Structure 1
Amino acid sequence: MRHLLSLRDIDQETLRHLVDRSVQLADPGRRGLLLAGRVIGIYFRRPSTRTRTAFSAGAMRLGASVLPFGPDDLQVTTGETWGDTARVMSGYLDALVMRTNDGMDELRDIAAASSVPLVNALTRYEHPTQAIADLATLREHFGDLSGRGILYVGEGNSSAGALAMAVAAYPGLRLTLITPHGYGLRPDILEAIKQLSGGDDRIHEHHDFSRMPTDVDVVYATRWQTMGVRHERDDWQAAFEGYKVTAGMMRAVGGGKAVFLHDLPAVRGQDVDDDVLDGPASLAWRQAYHKMTSAMAVLEWAVLGARGRA
């Protein structure tokens, strides 16, 4: 069963395939109706603009039908277990895409009961298809990613964790994460990075802007409140002082040559300035487009495997 729950569950070859296929699928002529006659279920517990639309549009562009479910549409709200729901849904669907915004244990329990592929469209600490879209954007822009350096600035959230694991599993890429004290990567994510990289010392996290690299190819930012979830401390914004990406920061770390990524939505003037997000170095809008192509690549792989390419 080809579930995509976490990037720690797939090998380097599969990750490369998904990244390369995401780039190929940006060309409508490389698609084809490979999922014609298939039915994809899409369940989102929380609001979503890009990811939900990306999976829905991507599935339909590949010829599949889409069944959307909201948080109150299934009888798990009346006491049915997710295991029983997954067993029933497996008879109707060819794949199920889920955004829970909660921990991974629930998703793994659902996958264990499902006889069709399950795709993680975001849990609380990992957003695997976002990271595939990130690397696809850079692969399309740069070509060969070997030796490229990425600077991530902001909270150690689901996008940061997935990006770090993707970089760890993609030989040759380098990543520095600067995160506020108390808002860094979780210990289990750090352990997964070590395992995926095989001990290769290419990923570093710290909290000190005086150690900011000056030779990166990419600067990556996210909003400081993931999915709008409130931080526990009322004074949390004090920890993020200095974390806004400005044109000055872009020049300082990339010598005016670095490109900019943002997983969106952005809080303009807080996590990034307008002249960076809308500027010539920004790939954020192409990155958003690749959320759809990465969704397509993942659905194609999950349902068909590597065969059937157009």
Structure 2
Amino acid sequence: MARHVLSVANLGPETLSRLVDDSVAIAGGRWNADRPLDGKVVGIYFQKTSTRTRTSFTVGALKLGASCVSYGPNDLQIATGETLEDTGRTLASYLDVLVVRTNGPLDEMKALAAQDTMSVVNAMSDNEHPTQAIADLSALKEAFGDLKGIHVLYVGEGNNSASALALAFAHMPAMRLTIVTPAGYGLPDDFIAQAQRIAAPNGTTIAQHHRVEELPRNVDAVYTTRWLTMGVKKADDDWLTRFRPYTITPAMMARVSKPAGTIFLHDLPAMRGYEVVDEVLDGPQSIAFRQAYHKMTSAMAVLAWCAGAPIRR
């Protein structure tokens, strides 16, 4: 049966931990650099723009020995009315893994995954970005050596990166995530409740509020994302005024940082001067571009797991 990565919620703690550990091992050169995907074919189907995720999966697949086939938004017969289920059944005759990005609902990817031979990887849907969360945990583990006890402050919009991060934290032991967003732009209350239910047995705490003046102190990491996810326009014409107090500045970093220092993360691309200023993104606390590197190492871990070809150390 094919292994899919559609949502962090479906991975479970053991698989998620393995993917993070494999990603960190690849980044640190602690694997034997063999080609476990030799003879495999990976399809890259992106309906929307991408710099990091598309490149990281393509290069990661090639490094693992796979061949790649790339599709643009209008290259498949989905554009002319073929059903997603029929497209998935057809592509499963040729491909071992299909990596998909869309602004649509996760149900679209589930339809492509309604066959049992080709793995489908969610490289971002409208409400979750699971491979980004794996890269995020990889960057954090590399930085701190251990994920237990880490407190991350997420500031900005409750978007698909934030939802994946919350689910990833929920599956890991003894972590803490505080999400602070403008009112009306947070993650849905029922989603937060779901993440909290998953997190509770693991001793992990997930909280969300909308009071930027009440940020927690002494956090290990501050994380933000682009306010305009995939360039989608906000319904509220005055949204920027509401978001401005949530810009990550040196003053905000100083306010929440530990005496020993706090790192900064951003999933990129950045809208400089909006969610973060240059002094933070380019400053010594920032690991945003190392985090971007982990998009490739985590992609390699995901592809190897999907293909049933484990990373050997």
TM > 0.5 between the two?
A: yes
Aligned residues: 309
- Structure 1 residue 63 displacement after superposition: 0.7
CA contact (8 A) 1:8 1:192 kept: no
User: d(CA) in 1 for partners of 2:107 and 2:5?
Assistant: 14
- Structure 1 residues 308 and 144 mapped into 2: Cα distance closer, same or farther (>3 Å)? closer
Q: Does 1:298 align with 2:302?
A: yes
Describe the superposition over 1:48-71 as per-residue Cα deviations: whole angstroms up to 9, x where unpaired. 000000000000011110100001
CA–CA distance in structure 1, aligned partners of residues 184 and 311 of structure 2: 46
Asked whether the equivalents of residues 169 and 204 of structure 2 are also in contact (C-alpha less than 8 Å), the reply is no
- Aligned twin of 1:154: 156
- What's 2:24 paired with? 23
Aligned to 1:60: 62
What residue is the counterpart of 2:262 in the other structure? 258
**Residue matched to 2:103:** 101
Cα distance, 1:296–1:188 mapped onto 2, change above 3 Å: farther
Cross-structure match for 2:71: 69
Contact 2:170 2:204 in 1 (8 A): no
> Helix, strand or coil for the counterpart of 2:298?
helix
2:249 paired residue number: 246
* 1:104 shift after superposition: 1.0
Aligned equivalent of 2:142, options 140, 143, 150? 140
Unaligned runs of 5+ in 1: none
Q: After TM superposition, where is structure 1 displaced by more than 3 Å over at least 4 residues in a row?
A: 198-201
User: Letter of the aligned partner of 2:232 in structure 1?
Assistant: V
Please tell me the residue identity of whatever aligns with 1:150: V
For residues 298 and 201 of structure 1, do their structure 2 counterparts lie closer, same or farther at Cα, with a shift above 3 Å needed? closer
Cα shift at 1:29:
6.0
Q: Which amino acid aligns with 2:312?
A: R
Structure 1 residues 133-282: aligned runs within 5 Å:
133-198=135-200, 200=203, 202-255=205-258, 257-282=261-286
2:139/2:290 contact within 8 Å kept: yes
Structure 1 residues 271 and 212, CA, compared in 2 at 3 Å: closer, same or farther? same
| Inter-partner Cα distance in structure 2 for 1:119 and 1:186 | 24
Cα deviation for residue 16 of structure 1 reads 0.5
Offset at 1:203? 0.7
Would you say the 8 A contact 1:84–1:113 is kept in 2? no
Q: CA deviation at 1:201?
A: 5.8
SS at match of 1:145: coil
Tell me the TM-score normalised to structure 1 length. Answer: 0.96
Give identity over the alignment, percent: 52
| Aligned twin of 1:47 | 49
Amino acid aligned to 2:69: L
- Cα distance between partner residues in 2 of 1:85 and 1:187: 35
Change in 2 beyond 3 A, CA 1:168/1:84: same
Secondary structure, in 3 states, of the residue corresponding to 1:304?
Answer: coil
Query: What's the secondary structure of 2:125's corresponding residue?
Result: coil
Q: CA RMSD in A?
A: 1.4
Structure 2 residue ranges without an equivalent (≥5): none
State the Cα deviation string for residues 197-241 of structure 1 (Å, max 9, x = none).
Answer: 146560100001232111100000111111111001111112212
